[in-house]
Amino acid sequence: MDWKGRHVLVTGGAGFIGSHVADRALASGAHVTVYDDFSTGLREYVPKHERATLVEGSLLDQKMLDAAMHGVDFVFHMAANADIKDNLKSPRKCIDQNIVVTQNVLEAMRAAGTKEIAFASTGSVYGEPKVFPTPEDAPFPVQTSIYATSKIAAEGLLSSYALGYGFHTWVFRFVSVLGPRYTHGHVYDFWRKLVADPTKLVVLGNGKQEKSYLHVSDCVAAMFVAIDKAQGPINVFNLGHPGVLQVDDSVSIITRTMKVSPRIEHTGGERGWVGDSPRIELDTSRIRSLGWAHTKTIEESVVETLTFLMANPFVTRRGGV
């Protein structure tokens, strides 16, 4: 796809992955509107560029969203409530911020005549899969969290609009994404805990959970490859890294990089929290068949994330979780 001169809107464009998407679209020659309410996004991440515009507002504000959508050719819908651990406590927030908001975006697109949208979904939609690595057409899973439920609902809204209104949609099911500007997830949590108390670290679960991690630059590159090469109305891609890292191994890398030697306490149990998947490893053959490959190892991603966090303590200013 030739992005030059196209008008791209990135929801959550001041967030971790969203801001990288905005940068990449700008580098490809697009005009970019960053739409963010700074509930978890950071002003430091908003691209400073002559082709970049910032709209500060909520996606629940349909009028503001409709106005921002005017003239937009392509939407990256990256904004979300990603408060996975706690969403059982505030399910309505998750429904509003992930389902209703997605429908608002689709309605704004329909009103503006915008027909192309890429969406940040999650590998958590596979619940506790029986097949590893898990392909896109794995056996129909039972949803194990409100977060994943809200993401699968948003995916369904996209595909329904694709069939009903001729939209082109790209759904990306991410593993955990790491790298510069990362401000959410276990590496962030561990880092904050260790800054506060380098002598002790509480790890949720038994530390044996196996997760896959993808570097944000590889993640964004994969999205752009898919959009370039997969042109059907509904395109679903797992984005991940082959292999997994045990949480305990992740802790070792983190403590080594931070040069601390805490006493590790496990809270116990196979899952870090209700709805946590003990193992996430996605089959990424589909995106690889289009020519994409990862360039960073999982360990490199963890180290780079920590290096960023240590050099940019302002990230703890972010709101939300």
Q: Which of 69, 146, 219, 251 binds a copy of itself (CB under 8 A)?
A: 146
Q: Which of 73, 155, 218, 304 binds a copy of itself (CB under 8 A)?
A: 155
Is 284 a binding residue for a copy of itself by CB under 8 A? The answer is: no
Nearest to 28 by CA among 228, 167, 233: 228
Is 46 a binding residue for a copy of itself by CB under 8 A? The answer is: no
- What the block records as the tokens of 226 is 């898919």
- What the block records as the tokens of 216 is 């944000």
Contact 42, 14 (CB under 8 A): yes
Residue 239 belongs to what H/E stretch?
strand 234-239
Is 143 a binding residue for a copy of itself by CB under 8 A? The answer is: yes
Contacts for 292 with CB less than 8 Å, ≥ 6 apart? 221, 222, 225, 226
Q: Please report, as a single letter, which amino acid is at residue 172.
A: F
Could you tell me which stretch among 45-53, 143-151, 209-217, 294-302 binds a copy of itself (CB under 8 A)? 143-151
Cα first-last separation, the chain: 36
- What the block records as the tokens of 263 is 């006493």
Write out the DSSP string of 157-218: HHHHHHHHH--EEEEEEE-EEESTT--SSHHHHHHHHHHH-TTEEEESS-S--EE-EEEHHH
Contact 318, 42 (CB under 8 A): yes
Query: Considering only residues 157-176, where is the footprint of a copy of itself by CB under 8 A?
Result: 157, 159-161, 163-165
Contacts for 127 with CB less than 8 Å, ≥ 6 apart? 141, 142, 143, 144, 148, 277
Q: Which of 56, 107, 210, 228 binds a copy of itself (CB under 8 A)?
A: 107
Could you tell me which stretch among 17-25, 72-80, 148-156, 193-201 binds a copy of itself (CB under 8 A)? 148-156
For residues 48 to 87, the per-residue mask of contacts with a copy of itself, x marking binding by CB under 8 A and - elsewhere, is: ----------------------------------------
Is 299 a binding residue for a copy of itself by CB under 8 A? The answer is: no
Q: Which of 138, 175, 251, 309 binds a copy of itself (CB under 8 A)?
A: 138
Residue 9 or 148: which CB sits closer to a copy of itself?
A: 148
Region of 290 (left: φ > 0; alpha: ψ -120 to 50; beta: rest) is alpha
Is 182 a binding residue for a copy of itself by CB under 8 A? The answer is: no
| Smallest separation, CB 70 to a copy of itself (Å) | 21
For residues 230 to 269, the per-residue mask of contacts with a copy of itself, x marking binding by CB under 8 A and - elsewhere, is: ----x-x---------------------------------
Could you tell me which stretch among 1-9, 44-52, 101-109, 241-249 binds a copy of itself (CB under 8 A)? 101-109
| Smallest separation, CB 237 to a copy of itself (Å) | 13
| CA–CA separation, 112 and 72 (whole Å) | 8
Residue 7 or 173: which CB sits closer to a copy of itself?
A: 173
Is 321 a binding residue for a copy of itself by CB under 8 A? The answer is: no
Sign of CA dihedral 256, 257, 262, 266: negative
- The contact set with a copy of itself (CB under 8 A) reads 88, 91-92, 95, 99-100, 103, 106-107, 126-127, 136-146, 148-150, 152-153, 155-157, 159-161, 163-165, 234, 236, 274-275
